[in-house]
Amino acid sequence: MIRLLNPKDAGSFRKIRLEALKNHPEAFSTSFEEEQEFSLESFEERLNRNYSYTFGAFEGEKSIGIVTMYVEQRAKLKHRANIVGMYISQEKRREGFGRSLMLEAIKKAKEIERVEQIHLTVTSSNEAAKKLYLSLGFQTYAVDQNALKIGHTYFDDELMVLKM
């Protein structure tokens, strides 16, 4: 089941978010060490922001995936939405949950009349995620070389866009 999360989901959101950061540090600009210090209230606040929509994938009551879509609010960027924080638990990958989450986020963006394009960033080495995004119509428009540095290792990011 895919659904929009609300502040009451902060506990499960925090748990899956920390799992994502711990298991795939190269895929997120925030680190596990930084975010594990955030209070439950800060996760509640994230789920209560205007123009930010976090969707969760659930199997029964268990959270198995998340994605956030937020719409830019600055005047010159109001035509853009952004996908961030996409993650599916390792044991549930390749079962369609990622596609379902992305389709729900894209659907929400299309409901907002002023949104003309959706942007996202993906680690260049993440072939499975890139394949998913390309299949949904996203196109790479740039590569941010050495975008992230973890220890002594650099990771490139691909910047992708879906024009609506």
Q: Encode pLDDT of 38-94 as tens digits.
A: 999 999 999 999 899 999 999 988 999 999 999 999 999 999 999 999 999 989 999
Q: Tell me the pLDDT tens digit for each residue of 137-160.
A: 999 999 999 999 999 999 999 999
Can you give the C-alpha Rg of the chain in angstroms? 15
pLDDT surpasses 90 at 4: yes
Query: Can you list the domains of the chain with their CATH numbers?
Result: 2-118 (3.40.630.30)
Q: What is the pTM of this model?
A: 0.93
User: Is the per-residue pLDDT at 3 higher than 90?
Assistant: yes
pLDDT in tens, 111-143: 999 999 999 999 999 999 999 999 999 999 999
How far is Cα 101 from Cα 107, in angstroms, rounded to an integer? 10
Measured in degrees and rounded to the nearest 5, phi and psi for residue 98 equal -60, -45
Nearest CA among 101, 35, 32 for reference residue 64: 101
Spatial CB neighbours of 70, under 8 Å, sequence gap ≥ 6? 49, 51, 52, 53, 81, 82, 84
Q: What is the pLDDT of residue 20?
A: 95
pLDDT for the residue 61:
86
